[in-house]
A and B are shown apart, each in its own frame.
Chain A
C-alpha cells in the first residue's frame, strides 16, 4: 500500500513543472472560493458580535434599521418604566435612548465620500456595550458637543484624529477620544450626546431604545406586552438578531457570487487536472503494463492514479488556503446595502471554511483523476508492454 503511495508521489515529483502548474491552478480556485466565503463570514461575524443576547433593541414598528426608526419621547418614557429592565451597579436602569443618523464624510486616502453612522448616546450606552473600550483620550462630558470616534472611522476618514474638530449640523464637534470595539460594527461609528445631537439635527424623536433584560428569557413576555399596549407602536428584538438581520442582504449576495464563481472555476480546474492525469497515464503506458505483469491488480492501478490526483488536489488546497488565510490581515470597508452606511470588517477563517475548502479541493482532484485512472486500470497488459 505504502509502495503505491510513494509511486504516486514520486511520479508527481518527476514531472515537476506540470505538477506545479496543475496544483497552482487548483490553489487559485480554492483561494477564490475560500476568500469569498471568508468575506461573507467576516461580515456576519462583525455584525453578530456587535449585538449581545441580553440586550434588546426597540424600533418603531415596521422599521428595519435604526436609521429608519423614530420613537417619540412619550413612548420612550413608557418603556423606561418596564419592570423587566436590569438594574446597574448604581441602582439605575440600564437603559439608553439613542439617536442614529448618517453623515457624509470624506475618506482619507481617496476622494470618495461615505456615509458614517453617528450615534447619539445616553448615560448607559457604554455599559450596555462592554465591548466598546476607550483607547485614547477620555469619555465625552454629557451635555457638551464632545464626541468620540470608533477606530475604523479614525483610520479611514479625514479630520478624525484626537483633538480635531468635525463640522456638521451647523456646529463644531470636538473629538476627545477614540474607542475600539474590536471586530464589531461599533468601530465604524461616531458617538456623541443624544440630546445635543437631536437639538443640532432638529430631530424631535429618538431612533432606537436599547436596554438590558434582567433575564434573557423575559423577551417573549415583553413582546406580548408591547403588542397589546395601544400606546406603543414598537417592535422589539434581541440585539443579536437585529444585527444578524442587517448582514442578510450582503452575505446572501456574497454567497451567490462566491458559489456561482467557484462552480464555474472548479470546472476549469477539474479540466486542468484531467489533462494532467491523462497525460500522465499516456506517458506511463509501459510502466502500467509492467506493474500489471508483476501482478498488481487493476484495483491497485486505479487506486494509484486516483491517489496521484488526490495528492494534487491536496497540495492545491493547502496552498490556496495558506494564501487565503493571509487575507485575515486585510480589512475591507464597504457600504452595507441594508443600512447605507459604511462598515469595516475583515476576512475571517473558521474551521468550517477550512474543511469546506479542503473537501472542495480534494473533490476537484478526485473528479479530475477518475476518468484517467479508470482508463489506466482498463489497459491491456500485452498492448501496453509493447508501447515504448
Chain B
C-alpha cells in the first residue's frame, strides 16, 4: 500500500519527475566521472608493488647514476634482483602523441615486473634482439603497430632518430596495469651514447631493486643510500609506491580542485532535488492535511515524503551510474595520453549510491518537516 502511494506520488507529475531524474542522473554521472579521473591519477600508486624499491639520484630525477652502482647494490642484504633503466623521452612522429618510453635492462626488468604478461616466444625474441622493443597492447593498438614493424622514435634528451623493431606486445595481468609503455634495450642506448656524448655513457637514470619481502624495505633503502653517501652521485631510495606518490603529490593542487568540484556537484543536485520536492509538497499541502485528519501519524507522513524523494533520486542515481560507462569511454579517448588507465571502480559506484541515498534523504527532510508541522485547518484552507 505505502509503496504504491510512493510510486504513484512520484510519478504524478510526469514531466517534472522526469526532469528531476535527469538532473540527478547527470550529477551522479559527473560525480562518478570526477572520481574516476582522480583514481586514474593514482593508478601508478595502485599498481606498484610492495617488494620493489626505486633508487635515483638524490638531487633530482634528471641526474644520472653510474652503472657501477649495480654491483654494490647487489651485495646488500635482502636484495634479490637489480634492474636499471633510463627515461628516454622520445616521441613517435608528433610531439603531441606522448607516451612513456624507457631504456631498460630487459632480463632483470621483466623478472621484476611479472604483471606484464608477454607470450613466451615474444619474450625470447625481445630479449635477444638488441634493437627490439616491447610495447603495451593499448599503445600498439593506438598506432596500429604489428610485430616485426620498424618504429622510429625521435629523441628529445638523446638526439637523433632511433629505430626499433617491435618484438613483443605485453598485456597487463589485471585492469590496473598501464598498457601504454614502450621498452627497449638499455645497451642499445648506451652504445649509441658513446658515439654521441661520451660523458654520458655507462650512466643510468634509475635502479629498480627487487627485495625478498616488504618488511625490509626501509632498512634496505637506508643501506643502499648509506653505500653511496658522500660520493659524487648520492642516491635516494624509496619504495615504488612512495616514488609514484611523489609524482602524484606534485600535481596535488589540481587533484584537490577536482575533489572540491565533486563536492560542489553533490551540492547542486541537492539543490535541484530539494527544490522539486519543496514544490510537490507545497502543491499537496492540502492532501497532507487530509491525511492528518484521517489520523495518519507524523512518522507515516514524513515517510511518504522522504520515500517519494528517495524513489526519484534512486531512479536518477542508477541511470547516472549506467551512463558513467559510455562517458568514461569518451573522456578516456579525449585525454588518453594523460591517463593510460581509466577504469570505473566498485568504490566509485558504491559512493555514487551513497550520495544518491543521502541526497534523497536530505531533500525529503525539509519539505517533510513543513508538511508535518502545518496546522490542519490551514492546510485544508490552502488550495495549491
Query: Is the A/B pair a real complex?
Result: yes
Do A333 and B59 touch across chains, with their CB atoms under 8 A apart? no
Q: Is A12 engaged at the interface, CB distance under 8 Å to the other chain?
A: no
- Contact in complex: B159, A28 (CB < 8 Å): no
Task: Report if A164 contacts B (CB, 8 A).
Answer: no
Determine if B156 and A261 form an interchain contact, defined as CB atoms under 8 angstroms apart.
no
Contacts of A102 in B (CB 8 A): 60-62
Say whether A54 faces chain B, with CB atoms less than 8 Å apart: no
A248-305 interface with B by 8 A CB criterion: 249, 253-254, 256-257, 260-261, 264-265, 267-269, 271-272, 274-276, 278-279
Interface contact A340-B157, CB-CB below 8 Å: no
- Interchain CB contact (< 8 A) of A271 among B22, B157, B197: B22
How many angstroms between the C-alpha atoms of A159 and B326 in the bound complex?
49
Pairwise interchain contact A169-B59, C-beta atoms closer than 8 A: yes
Q: With a CB–CB cut-off of 8 A, which chain A residues contact B108?
A: none
CA distance A350 to B199 in the complex (A): 49
A112: nearest chain-B partner, CB-CB: B249
- Kindly provide the distance from the CB of B202 to the nearest chain A CB, expressed in whole angstroms: 14
**Stretch from B138-146, B167-175, B252-260 contacting the other chain:** B252-260
CB distance from B353 to the nearest CB of A (A): 18
**Does B148 belong to the interface (CB within 8 Å)?**
no
Whether, in the assembled complex, B89 has its beta carbon less than 8 Å from a beta carbon of chain A, the answer is yes
Q: Please, how many angstroms separate the alpha-carbon atoms of A18 and B279 in the complex?
A: 8
* Measured CA separation A169–B62 after assembly (Å): 13
B128 sits at the interface (CB 8 A)? no
Q: Does A60 contact B (CB under 8 A)?
A: yes
B276:A334 contact, CB within 8 angstroms:
no
Measured between alpha carbons, how far is A151 from B249 in the docked complex, in Å?
A: 21
Stretch at the interface among B76-84, B118-126, B292-300, B331-339: B331-339
The CA of A110 and the CA of B34, in the complex, are separated in Å by: 24
| Chain B contact patch, size range | 35 or more
Encode contact with A along B1-28: 1 for CB under 8 Å, 0 otherwise: 0000000000000011001101100110
Residues of the B chain whose Cβ atoms lie less than 8 Å from the Cβ of A275:
16, 19-20, 23, 272, 275-276, 279
User: A25 with B156: in contact, given A18-B279, A101-B59 (CB under 8 Å)?
Assistant: no
A313 to chain B, nearest CB (A): 15
Q: Is the CB of B268 within 8 A of A25?
A: yes
User: How many A residues touch the partner, as a band?
Assistant: 35 or more
Q: Is the CB of A21 within 8 A of B274?
A: yes
Report how far A62 CA is from B196 CA in the complex, Å.
Answer: 14
Asked if B246 is at the interface of the complex by the 8 Å CB criterion, the answer is yes
* Complex Cα gap A340–B276 (Å): 48
Q: Which of B351-384 contact A (CB under 8 A)?
A: 383
A253 touches B338 (CB 8 A): yes
Contact B159 A60 (CB under 8 A): yes
CB-CB under 8 A from A31, the residues of chain B are 264
**Binary interface profile of A, 118-156, with partner B (CB < 8 Å = 1, else 0)?**
000000000000000000000000000000000000000
Tell me the bound Cα distance from A174 to B156 in angstroms. 34
Contact B19 A22, beta carbon cutoff 8 Å: no
**Interface secondary structure of B, over-half rule:** helix
Q: Does A29 contact B (CB under 8 A)?
A: yes
Least CB distance from B67 to A in Å reads 16
Residues of A within 8 A of B331 (CB): 260
CB contact between A334 and one of B60, B251, B334 (< 8 Å): that residue = B251
User: Which stretch of A63-71, A188-196, A217-225, A355-363 is in the interface?
Assistant: A63-71
Interface residues of A in 15-40 (CB under 8 A from B): 17-18, 21-22, 24-25, 28-29, 31-32, 35, 39
In Å, the complex CA distance between A261 and B259 comes to 13
CA distance A272 to B271 in the complex (A): 9
Say whether A104 faces chain B, with CB atoms less than 8 Å apart.
yes
B279 and A271: CB pair below 8 A? no
In the complex, whether B29 has a CB less than 8 A from a CB of chain A is yes
Q: Does A113 lie at the interface of the complex (its beta carbon under 8 Å from any beta carbon of B)?
A: yes
Q: Is A103 an interface residue (CB 8 A)?
A: yes
* Residue from the list A21, A64, A112, A233 in contact with B271, Cβ < 8 A: A21
| Contact B268 A233, beta carbon cutoff 8 Å | no
Give chain A nearest CB distance to B191 CB in angstroms: 19
Contacts of A326 on B, CB cut-off 8 Å?
none
Q: Is A215 an interface residue (CB 8 A)?
A: no
Please, how many angstroms separate the alpha-carbon atoms of A278 and B63 in the complex? 64
- B20 and A271: CB pair below 8 A? yes
A21's partner among B58, B257, B261, B275 (CB-CB below 8 A) is B275
Which of B37, B267, B338 has the largest number of chain A CB atoms within 10 A?
B338
Contact between A28 and B264 (Cβ–Cβ < 8 Å)? yes
A325 touches B (CB below 8 Å): no
Asked if A114 lies at the interface with its beta carbon under 8 angstroms from chain B, I say yes
10 tightest A-B CB contacts, nearest first: A335-B250, A271-B23, A334-B253, A272-B272, A102-B60, A264-B30, A268-B26, A112-B249, A21-B275, A332-B253
Query: Which residues of chain B have a CB within 8 Å of any CB of chain A?
Result: 15-16, 19-20, 22-23, 26-27, 29-30, 33-34, 37, 58-63, 89, 95, 98, 154-157, 159-160, 197, 199, 230, 232, 234, 236, 246-247, 249-254, 257-258, 261, 264-265, 267-269, 271-272, 274-276, 278-279, 327, 331, 334-335, 338, 383
Q: What are 7 of the A-B contact pairs (CB < 8 Å)?
A: A21-B275, A22-B275, A31-B264, A32-B261, A67-B62, A275-B275, A335-B250
Q: Which positions in A face B, CB cutoff 8 Å?
A: 17-18, 21-22, 24-25, 28-29, 31-32, 35, 39, 60-64, 67-68, 70, 101-104, 110, 112-115, 168-170, 201-202, 204, 233, 249, 253-254, 256-257, 260-261, 264-265, 267-269, 271-272, 274-276, 278-279, 332-335, 337, 340, 342, 388
List 15 other contacts, CB 8 Å, given A28-B271, A276-B275. A17-B278, A28-B267, A62-B160, A101-B60, A104-B59, A114-B250, A257-B258, A260-B33, A261-B34, A264-B33, A267-B26, A272-B23, A275-B20, A333-B253, A337-B338
